[in-house]
């Protein structure tokens, strides 16, 4: 019998924990669907609007607080996260199905974001510039926008919220946080840690629920910033709904069809390792997952043999077992989608190298487990399976003739998020750096593995130019020019006369 408790979730609005008003929903473990993680309140427009009002009421005092003091709250939070690391990893593995080793790494990544924010509090937040007029001092300063709505995905339920919450709060904004309805327990626990760290009432608010709660936040004109990670379709709706609001900033990260490019001179074992990690970690359920492996045609056969052999050895099982390489997909709907794309690949002419299916052994029977589906496919116009995001253990091996052909194939999708290149040729490195359309690039590494002090975002359908993590500070604050005249008379730039 499972010893883990069943949790009861609540909204947090202006420092008050509120129970469900209009029903609740369940969160169940994808490793064992019989494991009820918790019940959470189904929020909607009423809760979302109250939370925005609470954030707006808290904004004036929070933005006037010293930036150093705002950062010091994050030092409190960092110490609490250190204390709770193992418990947070356990809860995350139980609820979202990532193996516990990955979950612990995610908690550390979230901690790194919190530490980055704390350190940034005493770093420069503007610039001092020279004026044409020697008696003038010119400054560039940053000011917050107001209230931020933070809407986050299930696959990184701890780190991604902190990528958004941290910079937003540091710069003086207040927030309403809506975690994914697939991982409400982790979202709840994260906000409880903010409360314990001493953040003032109304500065951080929590609303649980599905898309209706998120839609209400987006439609509320009191929200000045919408920060979203999820599907392109939802991100597009957010941008359309926000277009008519003159004081609304939107930052969206919306999926990918990322790839690993394996050049002719690549070290084969390194290439296979990078490709397996890129495509199969988290069961392929990362926005940066490399579901396309582009391989030089001269080494394709050798690479494919080694890749398939390693994919067969991947341990798939309960997320709480640290010996497993990967766990389940998130739910039945995800299983159905992946299997549909596997069928589509067959219909579009794939040469199947490793058959993917739902796992039915006793240890898998109560969960949402899929084995990897690996196939070889020539790049051709009109193929959907190598251009559309699948978000599961679905991997295409695609041959290319030369570097220019590889760059063409990489760019031949609507997305542009992550890229890895496996090569020993420094000229090839520079070629792909300059010719491919991406937000994050890696050399002789997997295409997953972001670090918080770097921007995280993409181009085309992968994002709208406002990255998360450290790069988000540019989005959640705006620059102001401040010029001071120290002369006793008016002197204008550009030689403008002051004669009356």
Enumerate the active-site residues: 253, 287
Nearest to 252 by CA among 160, 166, 378, 125: 160
Q: What are φ and ψ of residue 394, in 5° steps?
A: -130, 110
Name the burial class of residue 486, with classes exposed (0-12), middle (13-18) and buried (19+) by CB atoms within 10 angstroms of its CB.
exposed
CA distance 99 to 92: 9
Q: How many CA atoms lie within 13 A of 32 on its CB side?
A: 15
Per 3-state DSSP, the chain is made up of helix, strand and coil in percentages (nearest 5) of: 40, 20, 40
Q: In what order do the strands lie in the sheet with 127-130?
A: 127-130, 136-144, 477-485
Beta bridge mates, 398: 294
CA distance 415 to 460: 5
Separation of CA 280 from chain center: 17
Q: In what order do the strands lie in the sheet with 249-253?
A: 16-18, 11-13, 204-206, 174-178, 147-151, 225-229, 249-253
CA distance 376 to 294: 10
Q: Which residues contact 67 (CB under 8 A, 6 or more apart)?
A: 121, 125, 170, 171, 172
């Amino acid at each position: 019998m499972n010893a883990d408790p069943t949790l009861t979730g609540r909204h947090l609005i202006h420092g008050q924990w509120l129970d469900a008003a209009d029903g609740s929903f369940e969160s169940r473990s994808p490793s064992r669907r019989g494991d009820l993680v918790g019940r959470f309140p189904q929020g909607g427009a009423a809760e979302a609007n109250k939370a925005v009002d609470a954030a707006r009421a808290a904004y004036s005092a929070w933005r006037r607080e010293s930036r150093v003091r705002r950062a010091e709250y994050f030092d409190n939070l960092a110490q609490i996260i250190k204390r709770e690391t193992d418990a947070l990893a356990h809860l995350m593995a139980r609820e979202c199905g990532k193996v516990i080793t990955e979950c612990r790494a995610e908690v550390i990544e979230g901690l790194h974001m919190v530490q980055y924010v704390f350190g940034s509090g005493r770093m420069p937040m503007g610039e001092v510039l020279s004026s044409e007029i020697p008696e003038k001092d010119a400054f560039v300063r940053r000011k917050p926008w107001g209230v931020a709505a933070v809407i986050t995905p299930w696959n990184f339920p701890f780190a991604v919220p902190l990528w958004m919450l941290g910079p937003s709060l540091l710069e003086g904004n207040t927030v309403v946080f809506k975690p994914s309805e697939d991982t409400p327990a982790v979202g709840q626990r994260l906000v409880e840690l903010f409360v314990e760290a001493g953040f003032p009432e109304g500065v951080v608010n929590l609303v649980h629920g599905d898309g209706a709660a998120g839609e209400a936040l987006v439609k509320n004109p009191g929200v000045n910033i919408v920060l979203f990670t999820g599907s392109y379709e939802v991100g597009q709706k957010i941008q359309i709904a926000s277009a008519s609001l003159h004081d609304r900033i939107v930052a969206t990260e919306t999926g990918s069809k990322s790839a690993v490019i394996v050049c002719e001179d690549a070290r084969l074992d390194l290439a296979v390792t990078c490709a397996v990690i890129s495509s199969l970690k988290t069961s392929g359920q990362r926005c940066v997952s490399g579901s396309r492996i582009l391989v030089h045609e001269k080494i394709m056969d050798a690479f494919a043999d080694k890749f398939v052999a390693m994919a067969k050895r991947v341990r798939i099982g309960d997320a709480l077992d640290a010996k497993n390489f990967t766990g389940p997909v998130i739910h039945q709907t995800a299983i159905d989608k992946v299997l549909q794309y596997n069928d589509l690949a067959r219909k579009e002419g794939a040469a199947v190298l490793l058959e993917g299916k739902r796992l039915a052994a006793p240890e898998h029977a109560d969960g949402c487990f899929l084995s990897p589906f690996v196939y070889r496919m020539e790049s051709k116009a009109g193929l959907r399976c190598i251009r559309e995001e699948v978000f599961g253990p679905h991997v295409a091996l695609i041959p290319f003739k030369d570097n220019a052909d590889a760059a063409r194939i990489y760019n031949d999708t609507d997305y542009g998020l992550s890229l890895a290149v496996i090569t020993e040729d420094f000229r090839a490195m520079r070629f792909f750096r300059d010719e491919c359309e991406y937000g994050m690039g890696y050399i002789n590494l997997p295409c997953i593995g972001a670090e918080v002090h770097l921007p995280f975002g993409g181009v085309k359908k992968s994002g709208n130019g406002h990255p998360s993590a450290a790069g988000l500070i540019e989005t959640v604050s705006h620059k102001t020019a401040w010029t001071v005249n120290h002369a006793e008379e008016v002197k204008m730039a550009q030689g403008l006369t002051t004669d009356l």
